[in-house]
Amino acid sequence: MDGNIILLNLILWPMASAVICYLSGWKKTPYGSEGSTESETEMRVRKHFRDHLVIASIVLECVLYCMCIISASKAGSGLRIDGFCGLGIGFKFEGFRIIYVGVALLMWMMTALFSMEYFEHYRNRNRYYFFYLMTLGATLGVFMSEDLYTAFIFFEIMSFTSYTWVAHDEKPGAMKAAGTYLAVAVIGGLVMLMGLMLLYYCTGTLKIDELYPACHMILDNWNWGSGSPGMIYAAGICILFGFGAKAGMFPLHIWLPKAHPVAPAPASALLSGILTKSGVYGVLILCFEIFRGVKTWGIIMLVLGVLTMFIGAVLAVFSVDLKRTLACSSMSQIGFILTGCATSVFLNEENSLAAAGTVLYMVNHSIFKLVLFMCAGAVYMRLHKLDLNAIRGCGRKNPLLKVCFAAGALGIMGVPLFSGYISKTLIHEGIVEYMHELGGMAMVSIKAVEILFLLSGGMTIGYMIKLFIAIFVEKPSDVAVTEKVGKRFKLTSALALIVPSVIIVVCGCVPSLYIDKLSVFMSDITHAHKIEHISIFSLENLKGFVISLTLGLLVYLFIRKVLMKKENERKVYADCWPKVLDLEELIYRPVLLKLLPGLFAGLFTRLKMTEPLSLFKKVPDLFAALFKALIRLTELIWNGTVKIGKVFGFIVSCFGESVIYSIKKLFFKELVEDKKNPVLEKLYTRFDAGDRVLRIVEATISYSIIWLMLGLIGTLMFLIFY
């Protein structure tokens, strides 16, 4: 162990305090008895002691944070533990890391204060607080990591400990959403691990500070090392898959709109505000340390960023659930950040505006979602409802809730004098700067990006106006709704709402105090120069906001006129988003739970009855069957069997079922009956014997091991023969 030992305590203390707090709130049940001997008063005292102990643990963590800042100048800002998990782990505490560890501690402190009132009548609080503190330690481990291997270890710990937040209520909806969250985390983690293996094979290092020279020796086609540019890109895409899944990047965003509505509000604030930023942190490393100045990577990031930004905003416009709208908003805001990353890649050494805007946007978004999700929690803990039609007008008699929600909403909308305006302006300036640098016809594509940037900003304004008017302006259908939410908060909850709201306003009013210092402080990860001069409130920059504001008012008009319908002589918010466009149900679940298990069920069952080599003789037949299925699909569309509005969904489902049918036709001939239109049948209910085999294969651990082995074999074959 070499370096500043206090850094390790900063990570280990939350995990140790998780055990202490859990034991302090543990229900003492005597041996042989099913009930507790404690009185109701004793139990309440013990629970309050546990809650205060959690806050005391975070306060002590803040003290350790201050000690780390002081000791960094004396004992150094790094710590290395060689030999741990083979490659060893390392931590650093400087620049960006100091800022984001501070942001994380602020968010944990505020949500801990808010949780005291929010969880008063919840069950499983002991479990919640245990994993709440464990996740804090793991999250700090990610942000303080010196290398990608350390980041991966703590990233996976963070994913598993935060899973319990989503599953906290243990209702069917919560368990399904938690399953989706865990599946995305596990698959993303495995793909990221493969990317790290490739990167280490190519460069011989995973240390963040050493990646740029090591990777660019290969990317610039130098005859050095054992790697190639293609392998660096392959590694980068795999790592992006893992980090992007946690960040909520399209098309890996599927967990966001489902996890947030079912998770407790303080957990939602952390999931959206800080855990998604752990994914963005990995993306920053890819963009600033591996692919800095590589235009091909910039194009990849720009496409993904714009899609995430625009689609998230569209989903939020159509949503009628308070927390789901905020979740889709998180996806859209992550898209803004990814767009800033892409612009920074393009601008390379001249990326000071875009880079500062990207990092500042990360910090701002964390604070915005802290405020907004806790406001949503304040509504839910009084009404236990989130549907906009059920909660409309509920906040009319709660001025504190109204002011705090307005601060968060105006911040995320990018209104001048609120901190969101600063970060959006800097990223927009970066886009304009790159557009002028290109010139000619090449600038047309970047102009389209600018238009989508402003349009997405307009949609942000539109759906936030929708939320504010629905909760604080419209008249409620039941007066009791307003009375319940109008009750005063406890002091701890009020502080948790007020402190981040004040930060949003102060940082928005005096940007000159910190923008230039921020760019220097963040240079350890962005490698950007100091911002010399920028007029944040110039007419040119205000013009961008005015355009977004105009578009936002038009979007809200669209919501009132198109997305609301009359019901019992009153307009209500209608859920108009087509359910068929749910990517999880449309693509991911059919592929992972039907297509692939069906394929392997038939494959492994057939291998028991015939010689393995006979499988290769059937490959031409397999492709012929697939080709016939595609021909049949074309005929169905041409003959009008499938309506135009359902063509896309039909293509996906029909092709998937055609592949399954083709596999079963090859390996289960005695089970398959010839039908004129097999792809339209529910194959899994028709073939009882095949379905039985499928269920057996899915239920065995061998199935999981087979997938793991296939992944490892594929990786090894790639490394050997590339």
From the list 177, 409, 369, 176, the residue with the least C-alpha distance to 266 is 369
**Cβ partners under 8 Å of residue 715, min gap 6:** 194, 197, 198
Task: Break the chain down into helix, strand, coil percent, rounded to 5.
Answer: 75, 5, 20
Structure tokens at 291: 């692919």
Express as a percent the part of the chain with pLDDT over 70: 77
| Angle, CA 363 vertex, CA 528 and CA 423 arms, to 5° | 65
Which has more confidence, 722 or 322? Answer: 322
pLDDT at 618 over 70: no
Q: How confident is the model at residue 601 (pLDDT cuts 50, 70, 90)?
A: low
pLDDT at 706 over 80: no
**Cβ partners under 8 Å of residue 635, min gap 6:** none
| Amino acid at site 433 | E
In a domain, 622, yes or no: yes
In a domain, 149, yes or no: no
Which has more confidence, 404 or 598? Answer: 404
Which has more confidence, 341 or 535? Answer: 341
Which has more confidence, 82 or 298? Answer: 298
In contact, 13 and 105? CB cutoff 8 Å: no
Which has more confidence, 415 or 440? Answer: 415
In a domain, 706, yes or no: yes
pLDDT at 225 over 50: no
pTM above 0.75, yes or no: yes
pLDDT at 464 over 50: yes
pLDDT of residue 57: 92
Cross-strand pairs, 564: 573
pLDDT of residue 456: 92
In a domain, 653, yes or no: yes
Mean pLDDT across the chain = 78
pLDDT of residue 29: 47
The residue-averaged pLDDT of 646-663 equals: 49
Which of the 8 DSSP states describes residue 489? Answer: P
Q: How far from 308 is each of 135, 253, 315, 582, CA to CA, in Å?
A: 26, 8, 11, 15
Q: How far from 22 is each of 15, 18, 27, 58, CA to CA, in Å?
A: 11, 6, 10, 15
pLDDT at 459 over 90: yes
**Cβ partners under 8 Å of residue 693, min gap 6:** 601, 602, 605
What is the domain count for the chain? 1
pLDDT of residue 619: 43
The residue-averaged pLDDT of 609-613 equals: 42
Structure tokens at 554: 């038009």
pLDDT of residue 88: 80
pLDDT of residue 405: 93
Please spell the DSSP secondary structure of 647-709, one letter per residue.
Answer: HHHHHHHHHHHHHHHHHHHHH-TTTPPP-SSGGGS-HHHH-HHHHHHHHHHHHSHHHHHHHHH
pLDDT at 672 over 70: no
pLDDT at 604 over 70: no
Cross-strand pairs, 207: 147
Cα 338 to its chain centre, rounded Å, is: 12
Which of the 8 DSSP states describes residue 78? Answer: E
d(CA 107, CA 243) in angstroms, rounded, equals: 21
In a domain, 117, yes or no: no
pLDDT tens-digit readout, 238-265: 999 999 988 889 888 888 888 888 888 8
pLDDT at 613 over 50: no
In contact, 587 and 499? CB cutoff 8 Å: no
3-state secondary structure at position 145: strand
pLDDT at 25 over 80: no
Backbone angles phi, psi at 369, to 5 degrees: -70, -25
- How many C-beta atoms surround the C-beta of residue 74 within 10 A? 7
Which of the 8 DSSP states describes residue 91? Answer: E
Q: How confident is the model at residue 645 (pLDDT cuts 50, 70, 90)?
A: very low
- Which residue's entry shows tokens 């936030």? 464
The residue-averaged pLDDT of 347-360 equals: 83
Which of the 8 DSSP states describes residue 422? Answer: H
pLDDT of residue 695: 42
Which has more confidence, 712 or 583? Answer: 583
Cα 604 to its chain centre, rounded Å, is: 36
Measured torsion, CA atoms of residues 571, 575, 576, 581, in degrees rounded to the nearest 10: 170
From the list 44, 262, 68, the residue with the least C-alpha distance to 168 is 262
- How many C-beta atoms surround the C-beta of residue 374 within 10 A? 28
Peptide bond into 251 cis (omega under 30): yes
pLDDT of residue 2: 59
pLDDT at 684 over 50: no
pLDDT of residue 42: 67
In a domain, 362, yes or no: no
Q: How confident is the model at residue 314 (pLDDT cuts 50, 70, 90)?
A: very high
pLDDT of residue 103: 92
In a domain, 716, yes or no: yes
pLDDT at 117 over 90: no
In a domain, 372, yes or no: no
Structure tokens at 138: 């793991």
In contact, 422 and 368? CB cutoff 8 Å: no
The residue-averaged pLDDT of 138-153 equals: 90
pLDDT of residue 408: 92
d(CA 720, CA 444) in angstroms, rounded, equals: 43
Q: How many residues does the structure list for the chain?
A: 722
d(CA 481, CA 487) in angstroms, rounded, equals: 11
Show the domain range for 610. 585-721
Radius of gyration of the chain (CA): 27
93-102, 183-192, 348-357: least confident range: 348-357
pLDDT of residue 602: 62
190-204, 440-454, 661-675: least confident range: 661-675
d(CA 609, CA 66) in angstroms, rounded, equals: 68
Pick the most confident of 27-36, 566-575, 640-649. 566-575
d(CA 32, CA 543) in angstroms, rounded, equals: 73
pLDDT tens-digit readout, 258-298: 888 888 889 999 988 899 999 999 999 999 888 888 888 88
d(CA 470, CA 409) in angstroms, rounded, equals: 13
In contact, 544 and 425? CB cutoff 8 Å: yes
What is the sign, positive or negative, of the torsion defined by CA atoms of 710, 711, 717, 718? positive
pLDDT at 533 over 60: yes
